[in-house]
Amino acid sequence: MCRASVVGARAADSALGLLRTAKFDLLVADIAMPGKDGIDLIRAVRSSDGPERTIPAVALTGFYEAYERNPHIAGFDGFIQKPVNPDMLSKLVRNVLRPAS
């Protein structure tokens, strides 16, 4: 099991604000957020000038098939289907955070 400290944000703008003011190891975002969605969030993150630009990021989605063939579409490093299986999320997180060899 993974051990993690989690900081939640209610919306994309809140998450972006947190990413700009603190250092995080990973971004996990739902594609279907109210207002600006997860795609809007990751585009803002990837186009920023700050260190948050390179944060590893995974997305939660109910439309997994749309992203399955190309997980880097929209700027995420991986996708997982909702409802989320905790073991599969843990495996995805380990894969995304694993240093390139």
Domain layout of the chain by residue ranges = 12-97
Residue with tokens 């390139």: 100
What number does CATH give the domain 12-97?
3.40.50.2300
pLDDT class for 61, splitting at 50, 70, 90? confident
Edge-first strand listing for the sheet containing 78-81 = 27-30, 57-61, 78-81
Phi, psi of 44 (to 5 degrees): -65, -40
Q: What percentage of the chain exceeds 90 in pLDDT?
A: 63
Q: Please report, for the chain, how many H helices and E strands are present, in that order.
A: 4, 3
What pTM was estimated for this model as a whole? 0.87
